[in-house]
Amino acid sequence: MENKLQKQKLARIASLLKKKYGAVEHTPEDPLEVLVGTILSQNTSDKNSEKAFLNLKKAVKNFKDLLSMPPGKIASLIKAGGLSNIKEKRIRESLEMLRRRDPSFSLSFLVQKDSEQAMKFLSSLPGVGDKTAACVLLFSFSLPVMPVDTHVFRIGKRTGVIPERASLKKAHNIFSEIIPAEYRDVLDLHVNLITHGREVCKAVNPACPKCVIRPLCDYYNKLKQDAAS
């Protein structure tokens, strides 16, 4: 019963956010680029990770060519993103594992698996957690999985879609359970949640009065109750 209510709430949130922010125009992205880009985004700001990513894009035609770089070269290119030595190690080890499986580095086999199996494979790569795996599956193959970043996590908790004390791991599991396998608007919902988190449902001083999903929000309703008591 709880999952059913969560599914209904998430569907209403998705509809309201899509009405406000619109549908997302998206061309499937190269899975290696999504994989490396998401590793670069770990523990840093969007601005810094984007700078590191662009430095790599300028250096190689294809991200599989990163393995031909001498040790330390990747770290020097991604220095702006922080933890460059650690991230170089994760990138190299992940790419090496993919090459051993298929010299062409193809990840197209993932679409032949269900989302859970695809997540399990990607999560077996060094430094690849649930968010990184979900990003690859969503942005490259349009599979119905939700990458839980800081904005999705915050809004999920405030609205009650996920429990207030849920861990990131638990949040990913819950979204996996309540997003239907046939649902094809996950990318719209993911991007719109991030936009909403940046512009309205901020970590500090959220702009609740102009929030289109406030009727569905446990956090907002509690504020109203506290103000009335």
**What is the percentage of the chain residues whose pLDDT exceeds 70?**
99
Do the beta carbons of residue 151 and residue 17 sit within 8 Å? no
Does an H or E element contain 113, and which?
none
State yes or no: pLDDT of 137 exceeds 90.
yes
Catalytic residue from among 120, 131, 170, 202: 131
131 is catalytic: yes
Alpha carbon dihedral 85, 89, 90, 96, in 10-degree steps, equals 160
- Angle CA 21–25–31, to nearest 5: 125
Do the beta carbons of residue 64 and residue 95 sit within 8 Å? yes
Instruction: Read off the pLDDT of residues 87-136 as tens digits, 9 standing for 90 and up.
Output: 999 999 999 999 999 999 999 899 888 888 999 999 999 889 999 999 99
State yes or no: pLDDT of 84 exceeds 70.
yes
Question: pTM here?
Answer: 0.89
Ordered by where they begin, the domains of the chain are 2-25+147-228 (1.10.1670.10), 31-141 (1.10.340.30)
DSSP reduced 3-state for 218: helix
- The pLDDT of residue 114 is 85
State yes or no: pLDDT of 1 exceeds 50.
no
